[in-house]
Amino acid sequence: MKTIRSLLAPCGLQFLMVVSLLISPMANAAGYFTQGGKLYDPAGQEFQVRGISHYGFNADILQPQFLWAMGWKEQIAQIKALGFNAVRLPFVPDTLYNTTPVDQLSYVDPGRNPELLGKTPLQVMDLWMAEADRQGLYVMLDFHSVSKQRQYPTWFVSNPADYALIYNNRAYTADDWRRDLAFVASRYANLSHFFAIDVYNEPNGIVRWSTGDANAADPVNFWKPAVESAATAVLNANPNLLIFVQGITGNYDSIENSNVPVNWGENFQPQAYQPLNIPLAKLVLSPHTYGPDVYVKSSFAASNFPNNLKADWDTLFGQFSAVHPVVIGEWGGRYGQGGVGAADVAWQNALVDYLQGKGIRNSFYWCYTPNSGDTGGILDDQLQVRQDKLALLQRHWAGASSTPAPTPTPVPTSGATLALSASEYAVAQSVGALTVKLSRSGNASAVVTVRGYTADGSAKAGSDYVARSGVLRWAAGDTSTRSIIINVKKTPFSGTRNFTINLADATGGATLGAISSATVTITGSKAVTPSPTPPPTPTPAPTAFPQQTISSFSPASGPVGTVVTINGAGFTGSNAAWAGNAHNAGLSVISDTQVRVTIPAGATSGALAILNPAHAAFTASAFTVR
């Protein structure tokens, strides 16, 4: 969040025999899982999230912030060295589809980042994810908005007036959202530290949890069914992941307490009476909460502030922490340097006290770099570590344990073996459907079940085939074959594409047989036509940095820490800012026509300047440092 603006019910497998959907808690869930309000890795070991957000892939530059002054591997290494073990990495659809090299979107120091030159945003994210995994950092991808331009209230865009926000200038549908979530879930499935997806950031405005508000009754805006469908898409693509879900601003249903002041993403009250239908072992509640540096709630003016906040936090999210892990997805502020000063320090200290009292020691702090206007970062404007913030976080993390998950009561081994009939299947696109056989062998004295699910390869669910996920059940004494029918889409394509059908989570003492995963190859119905010889690729011209122009700035005066908005043109590629005689002002490039400058310590009254490697522009009048 950073600047507040004004304020599983999965598709069932089509079985020829009896099927029951898996929507109950799973002690034997694949990959990462939750139990009793705690997080566990695939080995069953409890782990703590000492996390920080590192944004930029969600902004106009579509890459990590501050690569004009730092190396990307250096950033990852520093994050780990500071004691963080997890990173929340925001992205947007533009990250996946924009093919402009990142060094043309923003200045990238070529000496520090030679590997990134000429790479698209997605290629850079591939490198970043692999390096974070190599260095042992847990990573959660955060679907931050439908657009790099601003935080959009919903996970879809249906208003033609807003199509210009989208990477292809078209509508962005809920199906597109689920497609993109499944894409990243599958793309990084081979990285062992990729543990979660935050399915959408800070839904707000017209969004409601579900039914209850007569003034906002259109189910297209209901958060509960939307995130349930998103969870299905993600877990079909990568069943190892956890699903992080944020709260809403309000359901206004006369059941929740709508008088409690909230931040975007903070309110989970309806979870108490309209709970999410997402597997308990996969669900994490991830509220966002901020103090007065970001958004001034009415509760901050109370005479008993900050002692009055505990009751509100309990109401909004804390009440669920014994059942669901509650991992604060965003919190932070300037913590006394700039902003509102002591009130934000009091707020952040009070939050840590509250979290300690609840036994909540997992969170993602906002953020790593200093150029988030109303919070700053764990680094200051000179890229030095804010030791006071780090000490606060260390207090928050203290006391966390690392213990194995409680061992479920053992289930006697039945001796049954469940397996697919073949490791490879082929189907022509024109046929339209494929039947996959499953068998039960060995002891048949017990009731057994197994989960079946599809996962993308080069074939993508939704466009090439219909994703399936569900549970197959055999009664005691039943040894008959099960069949799964998977529908194939008929939109023509050339060549072949593949996906997999997988078995997992056998129950009743059954074990998986030698074939528990099979590759399905779809042969396209479109004839292959020879590709023409492409013309020679021209040598790219050297990056040309524009001459900036400044038309206005506001405010005209303020103390150290003031964030000044400068309007003009040609700001793309700008990498430095001056304030009077201080040549180390913080700079955030919002767009080609707007930047924000943070007045640094030691600044004197004088002109503000915006610089790129080739040019500089100065304000026509002075900014007065008070």
Q: Which residues are identified as catalytic?
A: 202, 330
Cα–Cα dist 497/427, whole Å: 10
Count of CB atoms within 10 A of residue 516's CB?
A: 19
**Are residues 191 and 129 in contact, defined by beta-carbon separation less than 8 angstroms?**
yes
Count of CB atoms within 10 A of residue 109's CB?
A: 18
Helices marked H in 108-222 = 121-134, 174-187
Closest CA to 617 of 554, 550, 563: 550
Q: Is the peptide bond before 367 cis (omega within 30 degrees of 0)?
A: yes
Q: Angle at which helices 223-237 and 174-187 pack, to 10 degrees?
A: 30
Residue 374, SS3 per DSSP:
coil
Cα–Cα dist 509/572, whole Å: 61
C-alpha of 404 from chain center: 27
Integer angstrom CA distances of residue 327 from 223, 241, 265, 288, 451: 19, 15, 12, 9, 28
Closest CA to 73 of 28, 153, 132: 132
For 553-573, the DSSP string reads EE-SEE-TTPEEEEEEE--TT
Cα–Cα dist 474/414, whole Å: 12
Integer angstrom CA distances of residue 199 from 4, 38, 261: 20, 20, 24
Cα–Cα dist 328/268, whole Å: 12
Q: Are strands 563-569 and 557-558 parallel, antiparallel or unpaired?
A: unpaired
Long-range CB pairs of 42-47, under 8 A, 24+ apart, other chains included? 42/192, 42/240, 44/404, 44/405, 45/402, 45/403, 45/404, 45/405, 46/401, 46/402, 46/403, 46/404, 46/405, 47/138, 47/402
Closest CA to 230 of 189, 278, 265, 272: 278
Six token digits for residue 477: 């004494």
> What does the radius of gyration of the chain's CA atoms come to, in whole angstroms?
26
Cα–Cα dist 239/186, whole Å: 9
Cβ neighbours of residue 115 closer than 8 Å, sequence gap 6 or more: 72, 127
Cα–Cα dist 395/353, whole Å: 9
**Are residues 265 and 329 in contact, defined by beta-carbon separation less than 8 angstroms?**
yes
Cα–Cα dist 371/588, whole Å: 6
Q: Is the peptide bond before 287 cis (omega within 30 degrees of 0)?
A: no
Six token digits for residue 334: 């300037």
**Are residues 505 and 418 in contact, defined by beta-carbon separation less than 8 angstroms?**
no
